[in-house]
Amino acid sequence: MSKKNTARPDGIAYSTNKDFFNDFPADEPMETLSKEKQKLKVTLDTKQRAGKVVTFIDGFIGNNDDLETLGKQLKTKCGTGGSVKDGYIMIQGDYKAKVVTWLKEWGYVLTK
């Protein structure tokens, strides 16, 4: 049986130098685009949901906290449940027309 290679790509598996692994750049948080530049796409979906309709909002570019905030605002406005994960917002029910109207009112002018 072969074991999975867990060493770094450069072949170094261990170093006694305490500053050795600090030479890699840290993941910088993604900066959120302004509302006017966001190209949000609102679609309806019924796949793998036993025929129930779900409204998807996709295309948000920015950090996860801002996406969570927008998702919470939309769920509150619709008065229904939903979730935010993998870069998209999912709202339970057919709220496509209302969501597009609200997003445009809030400054997301490139929303379709």
| Cβ proximity of 102 and 49 under 8 Å | no
Strands (E), 1-112: 41-45, 54-58, 82-85, 88-92
What does pTM read for this prediction? Answer: 0.72
Greatest CA separation for the chain: 60
From first to last of the 112 residues of the chain, give the pLDDT tens digit. 455 555 556 666 666 776 666 655 555 667 888 888 999 999 999 888 888 999 999 999 999 999 999 999 999 999 999 999 888 999 999 999 999 999 999 999 998 8
Set out the domains of the chain in order of their start, with CATH numbers. 35-105 (3.30.780.10)
| Cβ proximity of 41 and 100 under 8 Å | no
Three-state DSSP at 92 gives: strand
CA angle, corner 98, sides to 96 and 104, nearest 5?
100
Q: Which amino acid is at 13?
A: A
